[in-house]
Amino acid sequence: MDVETVGKTGFFLAAFLIDQYVKATITGSTTLSFITFQRVTNTGASFGFFQGYNAALLIAGIIILATVYWYRDHLPDWAVWCIITGGVSNLVDRVVYGHVVDYISIGWWPVFNVADALLTVGVAVVVVDEFFGREETP
């Protein structure tokens, strides 16, 4: 394994473990400046859509992750790492808890977690790359 792969693996493994640790241990509420850390359960998807469809979202998540993995050679490397790490962390929640545990609140935005942030960044990078990325040469 090359140094870059080891670095990415370490970074994303750390992000996954931190996310899972906080989800497993957060019980109360703590406010630091403009961020509040509080445990919120979410049986839906992003922004609270599809509440109560945990099993369907679990299956959809597995299909999406498999698709991202399948097409990984055609997507920006960091985006793939973000999507896979965030997706796996939230899928672990769905299996272990029966819902996703969110814990970061910034007031005006729905409560989210590190996995959600990774997913958002990964998808944003894919979208930006699709519209503004380099043209492939034949």
**How far is residue 28 from each of residues 43, 77, 90, 117, 122, measured CA to CA in Å?**
20, 36, 21, 21, 30
Q: Which of 83, 92, 88 is nearest to 117 (CA)?
A: 83
What CA–CA distance (Å, rounded) separates 27 from 36?
Answer: 13
Check if the beta carbon of residue 81 is closer than 8 Å to that of residue 89. Answer: no
**116 assigned to active site:** yes
- Which listed residue (73, 93, 116, 129) is catalytic? 116
DSSP for 3-19?
HHHHHHHHHHHHHHHHH
**102 assigned to active site:** yes
Token pair 């670095």: residue: 7
What CA–CA distance (Å, rounded) separates 123 from 29?
Answer: 29
- Which listed residue (73, 77, 102, 129) is catalytic? 102
What residues are labeled active site? 102, 116
